[in-house]
Chains A and B, each alone.
Chain A
């Protein structure tokens, strides 16, 4: 399967070289000209946007033309402003295999900055998505938003002030995220319902929650797996939660480093997580969110097969303080341990249908938390059946022993395949 994918990628890499045409958009009436070029684009075209700041009133879109590159003069040279947008739910909307977007900044889109859906072989490189008026509930939800894509490379990008997730990947397969910077978003970097993802050398700072790995119910692609997150810096994520109520990220308490919800098969290692005032890493089931869900589509609300090791936790960091009390989750932490930031929290709710022994799953399904520093404040809520804070206060323990184990590392073959994209 993987070999087939690799061969396919090579074929694509070569075919993309044929007949390609580079056209430069001029600066007069750029909106209409650029959109017309995107509509009339042919396989392999490179569409260049010059240096400068350009205003758009409508979404830009590309549909079904393969191997198109949309290229600005640089992340800090070409600015597409959607401040005056009257139409379209995104700044840029793309559904096209082999798409590369590169070298520009998207400002103030009314909805998501760039959405790429149902596409294969996607490169998002050196793109900045931001909202220039700072943290506002009315900012667009997502900065970079590939969804239901396959073979995705996101690198050297930046996202800030999105009211949901800055750098997001959802319901996708075979994804590589590296060297990205997410700051002042509600969620910095988010991986949701994805399969085969590797994320490294990213920085998430000054968000409400730095790095999220979620599995959500009610979606066509349920049950993400094989998510590998390593060598990232996740720091000072204490920013206020300015998301509108209702969205999943609205539950995140400011001061959350990493948050894993309902995910299976995740490896988190060699990350530096510091300067969080509430929680360094929280691992919870979907049940814990107290939101309704159904297990159709095979969705499992439980986490399993988690391998968390060799991370550096430093709750002190730059601007940390006492746990958040603006969100229920923060209030709970603060209620249990007044003014005490916790490094690693697990809700301790286990799937009764999976074999267990000694308070953990058995074999490769285990949750392993090992070698993350000596001075770790670890808490297991044992929250199964707990109804309120009073129950949790009685049920919790700080026993890390049962999680002191190791399971096999995730195969990194996927990353190598994805590197083929990098040659584009």
Chain B
């Protein structure tokens, strides 16, 4: 009897301790836009409990993009957080206008076996885009091998990753964690660091939240993260690149090119000097590469004359640069070291379906 009481007592104490512990780990999100980045990801309290479960804390809202940027087959789990009482303003064309203090949290991971998720995953890095008072800041945390914590890393890193894909093929990649400067290689708009993904047209679809499925824009508005949004009207929406029911071949190809290339290849981005523009709005065939000769592609041409030759993906530089793994020629420059087979297949199909051709130039005859 006595021993049972003691055990009960110990259990009770343990429960109390657990509760106290839990209450300490469920502290609210901690973001100081004026301060240097924390050394550890867990210091922000974006996730509760065991960190690698990526269980969001209060106010940390998961989101997804209709068409995402390809990053060496890494899976991505995205979250957004904004300070109490603040919200992003609707923007029909560009990234929604985030308030100061907003943080986008993006976790890059690989499932050990894509056909059997119960085998777990390995998280490689967690990138934060934090809106400081004057500008966005990119901060990267690299997960330790024990998967218990992620640590601040400014100079980047290279991690060998192995996984089994859905077909059971063993795959591996030297995953490159970009350094802080490389982040801006993509995340640049008019010379300033900017998020790429969270545009209305790329958020405008249904997400399976824990409390039920809902359109992401409606959800953001509901939790107070989106203002100047009128849910009674239609909003722009990109086609889902790998879902033929979501749009025409052209729309899906442009959706893919915009998210993977258009952040840089636009008039306001670092790729502007090439004169190749791959935003969805682009309607000038030459600007989008059709029969456009490259300027400074060098060996990036792969021996071809035009960015896109209608009907002929094998002669199109665009396809060559998406397929090659040569660091000096591949596109995108950052975040891809293996070919995105499914993405390339889409672009090949799109170019094959185009009619016409390009005139032969002096050096081709």
Chain A interfacial positions (CB closer than 8 Å to B): 32, 35-36, 38-40, 57-59, 61-64, 85-89, 93, 95, 109-112, 117-118, 137-142, 145, 147-148, 163-164, 170-171, 192, 216, 218-220, 243-248, 250-251, 288-292, 294, 296, 327-329
Contact = CB atoms under 8 A, between A and B. Distances in A.
Contacts of B294: 246-248
Contacts of B327: 85-89, 110-111
B181 interface: yes
Nearest to A192: B295
A294 to B, nearest CB: 5
Contacts of A139: 299
Contact of A138 (B155, B317, B326): B326
A247 B158 contact: no
A292 B298 contact: no
A87 B176 contact: yes
Nearest 5 pairs between A and B by C-beta? A141-B298, A246-B301, A111-B328, A110-B328, A61-B181
B298 A61 contact: no
A384 to B, nearest CB: 16
Given A36-B155, A218-B293, A328-B363, A63 B181 contact: yes
B261 to A, nearest CB: 14
B273 A171 contact: yes
A110 B158 contact: no
Contact of A292 (B158, B191, B293, B301): B293
10 contacts: A61-B179, A86-B327, A87-B158, A88-B334, A111-B300, A111-B328, A147-B273, A171-B273, A216-B295, A246-B305
A86 B174 contact: yes
B337 A88 contact: no
Contact of B158 (A61, A86, A288): A86
Contact of B275 (A59, A137, A218): A218
Contacts of B297: 141, 246-247
A47 to B, nearest CB: 14
**Secondary structure call for the B interface:** loop
Contacts of A63: 180-181, 184
Interface stretch (B4-12, B215-223, B241-249, B354-362): B354-362
A136 B174 CA distance: 26
Contacts of B185: 61, 93
B91 interface: no
B182 A219 contact: no
A289 B362 contact: yes
A26 to B, nearest CB: 15
B182 A247 contact: no
B74 to A, nearest CB: 15
Contacts of B302: 244, 246
Nearest to B363: A251
B275 A111 contact: no
A32 B87 CA distance: 38
Given A164-B298, A220-B272, A245 B267 contact: no
B328 A140 contact: yes
B339 interface: no
A292 B362 CA distance: 11
A392 to B, nearest CB: 13
B122 to A, nearest CB: 20
B311 interface: no
B301 A35 contact: no
Nearest to B333: A89
A163 B359 contact: no
Contact of B358 (A88, A118, A219, A292): A292
Contact of B270 (A117, A140, A244, A289): A117
Contacts of A117: 270, 273
